[in-house]
Structure 1
Amino acid sequence: MKSHQIKAVIEGLLFVSGEEGIDEKQIMDVLQLDRKTVKFYMAELIEAYASDSRGIQVVEIAGGYQFTTKAEHAPYFKRLVQSPSTTTLSQAALEALAIVAYKQPISRIEIEDIRGVKSERPLRTLIAKSLIKEVGRVEGAGRAILYGTTKDFLEQFGLRSIKELPPLPEKVSEDDVEEEVDLFFSRFQEQLASTQEESSNTN
């Protein structure tokens, strides 16, 4: 298969994979190519679609590749489809989200131990927004649900993987738990505020 044909097939794979995206291993398996070759073609496609003459782009998120629209074209999309504006997360929800992101997998009881207050409602909100999900159960009596972040969470904050979260202090004492939560919250508040500002500017 010639080079232009390989790139055409990859474009098709990106299209049919939709918002779920497709990872390198899947492309390798389908096209019977090694990882180095796949990376070469993906780099070429990413560069080609970065052109101002293109209305979509190829992005690498959460270990996979997918087609997305470009942020600068958002005003035109909003004229076509009336979509609900981004709902602001409460401070409680942001705190819970930050704790899940850094401590996952983590149970509701553990989250409440850190926050010092009940967290059932904030967790329901985060699940409804597809920012967190059930990732397992605690062993033993009760089998409490363990929570972790989702792919939507990575996309919302522009992360390729959870490893790209801002680093936290290596050692935090029990007396500093409140400060740790404040740090979690402030990092996410800044990022979410930036995202919401961009959204409001395009309305």
Structure 2
Amino acid sequence: MPSLKAILEALIFASPEPVTARRMLAIVKNVPGVSEDPDSLTEQTIEEAVEELRADYGSRHCGIVLDRAAGGYRFYTHPEVAPWLRELRGEESFPKLSPAALETLALIAYAQPVSRSQIEAVRGVAVDSVLSGLLEKGLIQVVGRSPSLGKPLLYGTTTRFLEWFGLQRLEELPDRQELREVLLRILQEDAG
């Protein structure tokens, strides 16, 4: 009979997106065979078991880490092995975003839900192609329609956005001054 930690490890590994303690608890309780008493399991016991797994992976000094992302847990490759992964893939694992895409993404993250015309009013240029690229990368999504004239689409960030930027939730976004400093640093790196 597999241990709770082994089951959770497999669930996190197999999930295409971060998996929450609540979701794992529901799965463990729905499928018989866990070595622990399923009735005694709570979200807290799941969280504690996952934290033990995180510590295990952290102490092994291996190429994989278990970390929190977008409200759940996910396996990642360790940043130290990035050069070998790029060689394997023959590409950057995270394609760079243009300054226009970063600026548009920041506007969406801070003002969501926001329409294309609102973004264009701030940026002063058309953003159709930038929005298409961000949608294609899965960093933004259509979250509804505005009640205003013409009912324009409204955009917001996705779980993938949170994962890309290492955030649990939007409240972890830097304040505006911090954001300005980050954007300036990125623009300087791209120019240099």
TM-score, normalization: structure 1? 0.77
Cα 1:54–1:97 change in 2 (3 A) is same
C-alpha contact (below 8 Å) 2:18/2:71 kept by paired residues: no
Deviation larger for 44-53 or 95-104: 44-53
C-alpha contact (below 8 Å) 1:94/1:185 kept by paired residues: no
For residue 18 of structure 2, the aligned residue among 17, 21, 29 is 21
- Unmatched runs of 5 consecutive residues or more in structure 2: 30-40
1:30 equivalent to 2:27? Answer yes
Residues 95-118 of structure 1: per-residue CA shift (max 9 Å, x gap) = 211100100111011111222222
For 1:24, give the aligned amino acid.
A
Q: What's 1:79 paired with?
A: 87
Structure 1 residue 21: Cα displacement: 2.3
Q: Percent identity?
A: 39
Q: Give the secondary-structure state (helix, strand or coil) at the position aligned to 1:95.
A: helix
- Unmatched runs of 5 consecutive residues or more in structure 1: 170-182, 197-203
Q: What's 2:144 paired with?
A: 136
Q: What's 1:11 paired with?
A: 9
Higher relative contact order (CA 8 A, sep 6+): 1
1:147 equivalent to 2:155? Answer yes
Structure 1 residue 128: Cα displacement: 2.2
Q: What's 2:35 paired with?
A: none
Structure 1: how far apart are the matches of 2:72 and 2:126?
36
Residues 29-87 of structure 1: per-residue CA shift (max 9 Å, x gap) = 12232121111111101110112443311111010111111110112223323125654
Structure 2: how far apart are the matches of 1:112 and 1:167?
22
C-alpha contact (below 8 Å) 1:98/1:185 kept by paired residues: no
Cα 1:89–1:77 change in 2 (3 A) is closer
> When the two structures are aligned, how many residues end up with a matched partner?
179
Q: Give the secondary-structure state (helix, strand or coil) at the position aligned to 1:60.
A: strand
C-alpha contact (below 8 Å) 2:86/2:93 kept by paired residues: no
Q: What's 1:201 paired with?
A: none
Deviation larger for 141-150 or 184-193: 184-193
For 1:38, give the aligned amino acid.
I
C-alpha contact (below 8 Å) 2:21/2:43 kept by paired residues: yes
1:94 equivalent to 2:92? Answer no
